């Protein structure tokens, strides 16, 4: 049984004053792609004496809140770790409830995604989803594939290790392999994320310090922010705090701080 929220879920929207949260200079330093490991729904529900599905339903509501915040602030790509291959080991009742929530989420959001130019993608093996959930996702992907205003990706029945194995197999069968030169750029074209930039920031909620088989290769240079809050508690303020922490960090990509200072002080050609 799914437990209804006291607030009717609203489709994606955008607050008009959101751009004032960050200064113009801070806006330039914001990440382009944020990937989120949405952890802690069940533990949050348990702390309230509620069933785990109560936590998952409130987690879906929070997806709307954080997606709306990201769009309004100007983050063009968000990827959400919604269901891992390892989650297939969960109790059948919980998995069924999660899949029904996924179908409901897609049904509620699809018109808004089409209206607002949001493109939906999915990474992971969708064959591992129940037919009704898989068809809902595939239908939304097809109907939004030409949208260009914003990008939402759901990781569903996803395993980064499995993605890498599939990419290796695909690469070995490709013309790239026959040409004999292996480059990251060439190999990355065989990953499921080939149409996405690598994540700049990975947020994980609920205080766990691990990637849990999520975007292992793509996260090579991502900043990682771990929040002690469970996902349903991770509100807009917590999201903005994560972005401010990202802005404060110095991303060196193997260089020294002195090299970056010199590089940033050079005049830019027009």
Q: Please state the rounded mean pLDDT for residues 46-56.
A: 97
Name residue, tokens 């999201």.
239
Any domain includes 24: no
Any domain includes 5: no
The phi and psi torsions of 80 (rounded to 5 degrees) equal: -115, 125
Q: What is the CATH number of the domain that holds 89?
A: 3.40.1180.10
pLDDT of residue 21: 84
Any domain includes 197: yes
Any domain includes 72: yes
Name residue, tokens 């609203």.
10
Q: Which listed residue (65, 87, 116, 213) is catalytic?
A: 87
Count of domains forming the chain: 1
Alpha-carbon distance 138 to 127, whole Å? 11
pLDDT tens per residue, range 125-161: 999 999 999 999 999 999 999 999 999 999 999 999 9
Q: Please state the rounded mean pLDDT for residues 243-268.
A: 70
Q: Which listed residue (39, 176, 198, 200) is catalytic?
A: 39
pLDDT of residue 16: 45
Any domain includes 7: no
Told to judge if 179 belongs to the known catalytic residues of this protein, a careful annotator would answer no
Q: Please state the rounded mean pLDDT for residues 101-129.
A: 97
Q: Token pair of 192, please?
A: 């499921």
Q: Token pair of 236, please?
A: 């807009």
Any domain includes 121: yes
Any domain includes 228: yes
Owning domain of residue 196: 31-180+187-264
pLDDT tens per residue, range 198-249: 999 999 999 999 999 999 999 999 999 999 999 999 999 999 999 999 999 9
Q: For the full predicted model, state whether its pTM sits above 0.75.
A: yes
For residue 179, pLDDT over 80 is answered with: no
Any domain includes 51: yes
Alpha-carbon distance 146 to 154, whole Å? 17
């Amino acid at each position: 049984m799914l437990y209804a929220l006291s607030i009717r879920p609203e489709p994606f929207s955008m607050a008009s004053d959101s751009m004032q949260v960050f200064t113009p200079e801070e806006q330039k330093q914001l990440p382009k792609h944020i990937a989120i490991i949405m952890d802690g729904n069940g533990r949050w529900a348990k702390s309230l004496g509620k069933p785990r599905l109560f936590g998952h339903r409130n987690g879906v509501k929070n997806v709307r809140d954080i997606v709306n915040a990201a769009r309004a602030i100007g983050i063009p790509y968000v990827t959400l770790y919604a269901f891992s291959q390892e989650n297939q080991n969960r109790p059948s009742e919980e998995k069924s409830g999660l899949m029904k929530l996924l179908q409901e989420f897609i049904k509620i959001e699809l018109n808004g995604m089409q209206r607002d130019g949001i493109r939906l993608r999915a990474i992971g093996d969708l064959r591992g989803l129940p037919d009704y959930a898989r068809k809902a996702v595939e239908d939304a992907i097809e109907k939004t594939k030409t949208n260009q205003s914003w990008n939402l990706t759901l990781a569903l029945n996803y395993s980064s290790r499995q993605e890498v194995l599939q990419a290796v197999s695909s690469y070995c069968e490709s013309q790239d392999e026959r040409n004999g030169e292996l480059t990251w750029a060439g190999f990355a074209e065989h990953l499921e994320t080939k149409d996405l930039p690598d994540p700049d920031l990975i947020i994980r909620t609920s205080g766990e310090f691990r990637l849990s088989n999520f975007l292992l290769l793509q996260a090579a240079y991502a900043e990682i922010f771990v929040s002690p809050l469970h996902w349903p508690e991770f509100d807009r303020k917590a999201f903005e705090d994560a972005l401010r922490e990202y802005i404060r960090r110095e991303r060196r990509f193997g260089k020294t701080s002195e090299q970056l200072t010199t590089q940033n002080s050079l005049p830019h050609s027009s």
